Amino acid sequence: MPKRLYITVCGNIGVGKTSLVNLLCQEFGWQHYYEEVRDHPYLDDYYKDMPRWGFHTQIFFLTQRLKQQQEIARIPASVCQDRSIYEDHEIFAKSLLHLGIMGQRDYLSYRQLFEAIAPYVTKPDLLIYLKASVETLVERIRLRSRDCESGISPDYLGHLNERYADWMDHFDLCPVMTLDADHLDFVQRDGDLRFVYDQVSGFLAGELTARTYQPVLI
């Protein structure tokens, strides 16, 4: 493993990415990079009228993510990032197209921009995938009570879960550690948090050899 690490945490809305990034950075001394949500100028409008604001929302996310990637490439510290730039296209832009929220013309414009950017993006050393059922996601979204997320439907979350499953089946840019967020509550249970730390420590020690690491929970 290189001394300087780039770790990214991915997963559906409400699964616990930001919390895990924060905890991992505290434990391992990494620099955190969070998804820019609170200052997103289109997000409230998007959840009220997705077809009208879908393209604008995705362009803003992609722009912010590119700025993050430029910073990550420059700093010498190890980094842990909340959501990768790849999810912007593979999960959200494709979902908007398939659901009819983003038109074909807007999607093709977005994809051309993403494909022009992608070759210049630093690849992660490890992708941690938090996987959870729709029921778990709905409950965690309810508990964190963000106004902009109040209109997210279970059907939309289910569709995103399908996109994540398809993406993970084909992802080969770096090793993947899959963690079952239905059974792990690393925010509320110290034992679960220690379990996650142990899995990450194992990877850092070179014990992760398969492309996807799926721990067996007892």
Q: How far is it, in rounded angstroms, from Cα 12 to Cα 157?
A: 7
> Do 58 and 99 form a contact (C-beta atoms < 8 A)?
no
* Residue 125 is a catalytic residue: no
DSSP string, 120-184: GSPPPSEEEEEE--HHHHHHHHHHHT-GGGTT--HHHHHHHHHHHHHHHHH--SS-EEEEETTT-
Find out whether 117 and 85 touch, Cβ atoms under 8 Å.
Answer: yes
Helix (H) or strand (E) holding 43: helix 43-48
Residues 30/78, Cβ–Cβ less than 8 Å: yes
Q: Residue 9 in 3-state DSSP?
A: strand
**What single DSSP character describes residue 57?**
H
Selecting among 39, 44, 45, 82, the annotated active-site residue is 82
Q: Which residues form the catalytic set?
A: 82
